[in-house]
Amino acid sequence: MTIEAIKTGLSIRDISKSSDEVNASIDTSIESQSGVDDNMTIEATKTGLSICEVSKSFGEVKALINTSLEIKPGEFFTLLGPSGCGKTTLMRIIAGLELADTGTVLLSGKDISRLPANKRHVNTVFQSYALFPHLTVFENVAFGLRSRKVHKDEINQRVTEALTMVDLTGMADRLPQQMSGGQQQRVALSRALVNQPEVLLLDEPMSALDAKLRTQVQVELKRLHQRLGQTFILVTHDQDEALVVSDRIAVMNHGEIIQHGTPKEVYERPTCRFVAEFLGAANLISGIRAGNGVETEFGALQVVKEIPWQKGTLAIRPERVSIHDNQPEVNGVKARILDVIYLGSNVELLLDRGFRVRTDTHRLFTQGEEIWLSFPPERLVVLND
Ligand SMILES: Nc1ncnc2c1ncn2[C@@H]1O[C@H](COP(=O)(O)OP(=O)(O)OP(=O)(O)O)[C@@H](O)[C@H]1O
Ligand SMILES: [Mg+2]
């Protein structure tokens, strides 16, 4: 499909009565949506992104410290981390809404670090989805195309396509206030998709939704990604969301990427305490290296991985601890049940030695009961710190 060139900048400040913050978000999102070269042909281009040693400070605050990352073409990549760790700063640098102090951003191998936002083939969906309240769903999605004087027939076709992608075809004539939060969020998504960006940036797009809707939109987003095959970069501080939707996850803290890998890798093989604890619950056991095992307050524990320290920490997920009626042969620990938390399909046991264990409900557990636990050596993760 051929897309017309954009000759004019856009500001919608004049026509919107929303708050300054919302205006700014619309400005930047429309701005970054408008960047398409003359007669450029875009057909679900699969674009990779390289972030090379990017740093950014705001006064004393080091928002990003020497950050490097490779995002593969067509990948669903997630930046996960606590509030203030630099996720939005990194997204804004990718979108061209913020300039890095040092380092480069490459899109398909081309240095775009100094390109203005409207010249990058990148679109952003922000947390505040900022729809125009007085425009219909159709016109909200068409807004950027109309401003760029795209032909009427092409607008009709592309907006209809973009609304179909998010299952909103029947709602084109509604106003935003006649829709649920999740539906409005999908309009915002569709407004970004209509521009057929090579890379779609999603900065906490689901944080305004309630838990149930959030799960639904997550699944829809993942399906959409599979169908379109474009590169999606999502920002979230919700570890479950990251595990559900992503091909790969980068875990950030204090302006640095601590670990990246597939959801399974970062969940099952955290490299440090922070990742182990940020991605779900973890039992942490400190100890001292003793040959190929670790001496701990629970006795000697066998591990299968190499131990890079003299004194350090092992981790095991609550669902990886196994429960026995008799003393197990390897890595057995006796513990008393302090509390049994019923979770529907699972139960969580809180034990007197500070352990948490998650198991299915096939057996009845009672408070005060003593049970044997074992930490299977292949499930014990040797952390680096
Ligand atoms: N324009 C700015 N001026 C000053 N400090 C800023 C600015 N933007 C971000 N910061 C600071 O940089 C750090 C990283 O901010 P950023 O918005 O990237 O965090 P985040 O990971 O997106 O957090 P959240 O999950 O809360 O959105 C924070 O300490 C923040 O206060
Ligand atoms: Mg943020």
- Are 229 and 315 in the same domain? no
More confident residue, 54 or 129: 54
The answer to whether residues 173 and 285 belong to one domain is no
Q: Are 79 and 67 a contacting pair, CB within 8 Å?
A: no
Q: Give the amino acid at 83.
A: S
Q: Is the model's pLDDT at 201 over the cut of 90?
A: yes
- Do the domain assignments include residue 306? yes
Domain final position from 268, 292, 318: 268
Per-residue confidence (pLDDT) for residue 302, from 0 to 100: 96
375 and 231 in one domain? no
Q: Whose CA is nearest to atom 20 of ligand 1?
A: 84
Burial class from Cβ neighbours inside 10 Å (0-12, 13-18, 19+) for residue 319 reads middle
Most ligand 1 atoms within 8 A of CB, residue of 51, 64, 83, 89 to mutate? 89
- Does residue 247 sit in the same domain as residue 348? no
Q: Given ligand 1 and candidates 51, 65, 87, 239, which is best to mutate, with the most ligand atoms within 8 Å of its CB?
A: 87
Do 192 and 310 sit in the same domain of this protein? no
Which residue's alpha carbon is nearest to atom 2 within ligand 1? 58
For residue 86, give the ligand 1 atom closest to its CA: 18
Which amino acid residue places its CA nearest to atom 30 of ligand 1? 84
Residue 140, domain member (yes or no): yes
- Confidence bin at 45 (pLDDT 50/70/90): low
Q: pTM of the full predicted structure?
A: 0.83
Ligand 1 center to 255 CA (angstroms): 9
Q: Are residues 157 and 93 in the same domain?
A: yes
Tell me the residue range of the domain where 230 lies. 20-268
Which residues does ligand 1 sit against, CB inside 6 Å?
58, 61, 63, 81, 83-89, 237
Indicate which residue's Cα is closest to atom 18 of ligand 1. Answer: 86
On whether residue 10 sits in a domain, the answer given is no
How far, in Å, from the CA of 285 to the mean position of ligand 2? 33
Is there a domain that residue 152 lies in? yes
Mean pLDDT of the chain: 85
| For residue 383, pLDDT beyond 70 | yes
Examine residue 193 and state whether it is found in any structural domain, yes or no.
yes
Ligand 1 atom with least separation from CA of 127: 27
Ion ligand 2 residues within 5 Å by Cβ: 88
pLDDT at 340 > cutoff 70: yes
Same domain for 243 and 140, yes or no, is yes
Backbone phi, psi, residue 211, to 5°: -55, -40
Distance 323 CA to ligand 1 centre (A): 44
Taking the centre of ligand 2 as the mean of its atom positions, its distance from the CA of residue 84, in whole angstroms, is 7
- The atom number, within ligand 1, closest to the CA of 89 reads 18
The count of domains in the chain is: 2
- 359 and 218 share one domain: no
In sequence order, the β-bridge partners of residue 359 are 347
**Same structural domain, 97 and 166:** yes
End-to-end CA distance of the chain, in Å? Answer: 52
- Percentage of the chain beyond pLDDT 70 is 87
In this structure, the answer to whether residues 313 and 337 fall within a common structural domain is yes
Contact 93, 105 (CB under 8 A): yes
The C-alpha atoms of residue 225 and residue 206 are separated, in whole angstroms, by: 16
Q: Is residue 274 part of a domain?
A: no
Cα–Cα distance between 131 and 111 in angstroms, integer? 32
Query: 174 with 289, same domain?
Result: no
Q: Output the residue whose Cα is nearest ligand 1's atom 6.
A: 58
pLDDT in tens, 71-119: 999 999 999 999 999 999 999 999 999 999 999 999 988 999 999 988 8
Query: Residue 341 sits in a domain of what CATH number?
Result: 2.40.50.140
Whether 301 and 262 map to the same domain: the answer is no
Please report, for residues 130, 142, 176, 192, 349, the alpha-carbon distance to residue 134 in angstroms, rounded to integers and kept in the order given.
Answer: 12, 14, 8, 19, 53
Tell me whether residue 260 is in a domain: yes
Going by alpha carbons, the residue nearest to atom 1 of ligand 1 is 58
Residue 14 lies in a domain: no
